[in-house]
């Protein structure tokens, strides 16, 4: 089943602008939600003043503040790599967002193997953290970069295996067709894979409880220690863009994307709502669990997640052979 | 000249240039990063020629895993910022490497150039037929390769566990 090919230059530009707009708005929305949800879970109010109504403009104000700050490159740093790293961390998520379908027709760049595409793009983004950690010429940064390399190597495998299981179930690598084929009973059939995917995605994003690489209280934000101003903001933005990409991917792979009441007409709203619910879950994980230690991280990945993902793959294969 | 020719020439030039930089730079981490660019450009070549899935797997496996592993190993051992004089090789080595590289390039050119007719063709390869080829025609080489990897994995484990003392959890301490 081949996707349509876009050839009109104007259409290409319009689609690119659309993705860029979503890329700039959705992470801010998730960030603001994190401020407020986390605050209320901890018995606080969170930002209340910026913008008037419940501090809705807090992140806009933060952005303005970051722009005004001085952009410092440490004297001992490797200048070119140091300055280029934030772009390497940020752009892949923008590219990944372009191929995630919100409904069968609402997708910026239709591709055949979009599930693999998203995984490949996010795998490239990881390099930004490593480049930042090495080029900073700071021992905390280097420690953080080493921790993130170890963590990302360990969690990449279960993530890919979990996605492979859904692809096997639907018999395609296209996210659009996966969500079209999705049935409600897949919720149970693919449940172990979904859990593996969620845990591995949170670890891949280096979000608490898997934030050992950036542990602010021991290695002072790890790879990002030396960054200031806009470049630091880009790293933060890439974290929240990563949450958006992983949440939408989870919604499309495991929750049926646009399927729901009136899915024919307002399917994209369903995808966004499901993705938003997953994002809130990821925020909740941060509040609920303390940080895992390095050896616990590796143990969880290799002794729990990888076997679980392999078992899920076997269960899926048996299901596919039996029911088709 | 079509758009396809231009795109192919561009990614090819990037691949060749970054490959050259990867072996000539004296910054050891820069070499790894140029390798990323090179592998990415090779993935671009696959993409231009229509092998979408191969291109994506190239990115996922080589950039996402192999180069991350290389960088991790560099950071674990020693990766100073700035040029590293120890990495320099002698004149004879350089000459030998250049001759060897030129010989391989000449061999490849001699075999491949007669086959090429100067036109870049795009073959859209469906993922299903790719899978059928790998797990049908080429299944035995594929399984042999997996076995080789498994053997090397077990070997690595044995080397790290059994060297210098009794096997077991605390074997090396």
The model's pLDDT over A231-289, given as tens digits with 9 standing for 90+, comes to: 888 888 888 999 999 999 999 888 887 877 877 777 788 888 889 999 999 989 888 88
Mean per-residue pLDDT, A67-80:
82
Distances from the Cα of B82 to the Cα of A6, A80, A104, A143, B116, angstroms = 45, 11, 50, 19, 43
Evaluate whether B15 touches B45 at the Cβ level (below 8 Å): yes
d(CA B69, nearest CA chain A) in Å: 7
Return the half-sphere exposure (C-beta side, CA atoms, 13 A cut-off) of residue B81.
Answer: 19
CB within 8 Å of chain A, chain B residues 138-157: none
Helix extents (H) in chain B: 3-24, 28-48, 52-58, 67-76, 91-112, 127-132, 139-162
Percent of chain A scored above 90 by pLDDT? Answer: 12
Banded pLDDT at A3 (limits 50, 70, 90): low
pLDDT over threshold 60, residue A69:
yes
Confidence tier at A227 by pLDDT (50, 70, 90): confident
pLDDT band at A1 (very low <50, low <70, confident <90, very high): very low
Residue of A87, A124, A177, A178 to mutate when probing chain B, most B C-beta within 10 A:
A124
Taking only the tens place, the pLDDT of each residue in A187-220 is 888 889 999 999 999 998 888 888 887 777 788 7
The H or E element that residue A95 is part of is helix A79-99
Return the pLDDT at A6: 62
pLDDT value at residue B144: 94
Q: Which residues of chain B have pLDDT under 70?
A: 1, 82, 84-87, 118, 120, 163-173
Question: With bands split at pLDDT 50, 70 and 90, how would you rate the model's confidence at A84?
Answer: confident
- With CB atoms and an 8 Å threshold, state whether A153 touches B76: no
**Cβ-based contacts under 8 A for chains A and B:** 84
Chain B residue numbers touching A124 (CB-CB < 8 A): 40, 59, 63-64
Q: Which residue has the tokens 């930002």?
A: A47
Task: Kindly tell me if the per-residue pLDDT of A302 is higher than 50.
Answer: yes
Q: B53 — contact with chain A (CB < 8 Å)?
A: yes
Fold for domain B3-88?
Answer: 1.20.120
Tell me if chain B has a CB within 8 Å of the CB of A273.
no
Residues 57-86 of B with CB under 8 A from A: 57, 59-60, 63-65, 67-69, 71-72, 74-76, 79, 81-82
pLDDT band at A311 (very low <50, low <70, confident <90, very high): very high
Q: Is B47 on the interface with A (CB under 8 A)?
A: no
The pLDDT, as a whole number, for residue B1 is 64
Helices (H), A100-228: 114-135, 139-170, 175-181, 186-189, 191-204, 216-219
Q: Which two tokens stand for residue B161?
A: 């566990």
Using CB atoms within 10 Å of the CB of residue A287, give its burial: 0 to 12 exposed, 13 to 18 middle, 19+ buried. Answer: middle
**Residues in CB range of B157: below 8 A, 6 or more apart:** none
Chain A residues with CB under 8 Å of B70 CB are: none
Q: Identify the band that residue A175 occupies on the pLDDT scale cut at 50, 70 and 90.
A: confident
Instruction: Give every CB contact of residue A258 below 8 A, 6+ residues apart in sequence.
Output: A101, A102, A103, A104, A179, A267, A268, A270, A271
Which residues in A lie closer than 8 A to residue B82 (C-beta atoms)? 78
Query: What local confidence, expressed as pLDDT, does residue B171 receive?
Result: 44
CA distance A293 to B52: 39
Residues of A in contact with B59 (CB under 8 A): 120-121, 123-124
Interchain proximity B69–A153, CB inside 8 Å: yes
């Amino acid at each position: 089943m081949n996707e349509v090919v876009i050839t009109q230059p104007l259409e290409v530009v319009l689609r690119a602008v659309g993705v860029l707009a979503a890329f700039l708005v959705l992470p801010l929305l998730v960030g603001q939600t994190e401020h407020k949800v986390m605050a209320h879970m901890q018995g606080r109010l969170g930002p209340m003043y910026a913008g008037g109504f419940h501090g809705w403009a807090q992140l806009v104000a933060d952005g303005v503040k970051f722009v005004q700050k001085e952009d410092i490159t440490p004297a001992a740093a490797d200048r070119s790599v140091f300055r280029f790293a934030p772009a390497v961390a940020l752009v892949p998520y923008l590219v990944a967002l372009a191929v995630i379908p919100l409904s069968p027709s609402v997708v910026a760049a239709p591709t055949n193997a979009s599930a693999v595409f998203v995984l490949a793009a996010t795998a490239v983004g990881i390099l930004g953290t490593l480049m930042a950690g090495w080029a900073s010429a700071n021992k905390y940064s280097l420690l953080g970069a080493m921790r993130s390399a170890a963590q990302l190597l360990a969690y990449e495998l279960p993530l890919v295996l979990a996605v492979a299981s859904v692809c096997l179930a639907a018999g395609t690598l296209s996210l659009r067709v996966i969500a079209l084929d999705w049935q409600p009973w897949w919720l149970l059939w693919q449940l172990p894979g979904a859990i593996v995917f969620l845990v591995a995605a949170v670890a891949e994003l280096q979000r608490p409880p898997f934030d050992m690489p950036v542990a602010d209280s021991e290695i002072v934000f790890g790879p990002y220690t030396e960054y200031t101003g806009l470049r630091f903001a880009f790293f933060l933005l890439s974290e929240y863009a990563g949450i958006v990409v992983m949440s939408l991917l989870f919604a499309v792979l495991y929750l049926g994307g646009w399927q729901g009441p009136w899915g024919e007409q307002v399917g994209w709203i369903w995808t966004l709502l499901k993705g938003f619910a997953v994002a809130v879950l990821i925020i909740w994980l941060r509040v609920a669990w303390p940080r895992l230690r390095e050896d616990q991280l590796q143990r969880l990945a290799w002794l729990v997640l990888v076997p679980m993902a392999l078992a899920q793959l076997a269960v899926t294969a048996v299901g596919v052979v039996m029911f088709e | 000249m079509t758009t396809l020719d231009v795109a192919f020439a561009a990614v090819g030039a990037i691949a060749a240039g970054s490959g050259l930089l990867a072996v000539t730079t004296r910054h050891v981490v820069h070499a790894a990063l140029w390798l990323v660019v090179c592998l990415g450009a090779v993935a671009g070549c696959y993409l231009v020629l229509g092998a979408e899935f191969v291109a994506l797997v190239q990115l996922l496996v080589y950039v996402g895993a192999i180069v991350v592993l290389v960088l991790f190993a560099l950071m674990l051992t020693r990766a100073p910022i700035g040029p590293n004089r120890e990495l320099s090789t002698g004149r004879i080595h350089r000459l030998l490497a250049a001759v060897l590289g030129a010989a391989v390039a000449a061999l490849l050119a001699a075999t491949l150039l007669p086959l090429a007719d100067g036109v870049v063709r795009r073959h859209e390869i469906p993922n299903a037929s790719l899978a059928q080829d790998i797990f049908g025609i080429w299944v035995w080489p594929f399984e042999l390769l997996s076995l080789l990897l498994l053997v090397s994995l077990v070997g690595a484990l044995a080397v790290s566990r059994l060297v210098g003392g009794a096997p077991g959890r605390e074997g090396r301490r």
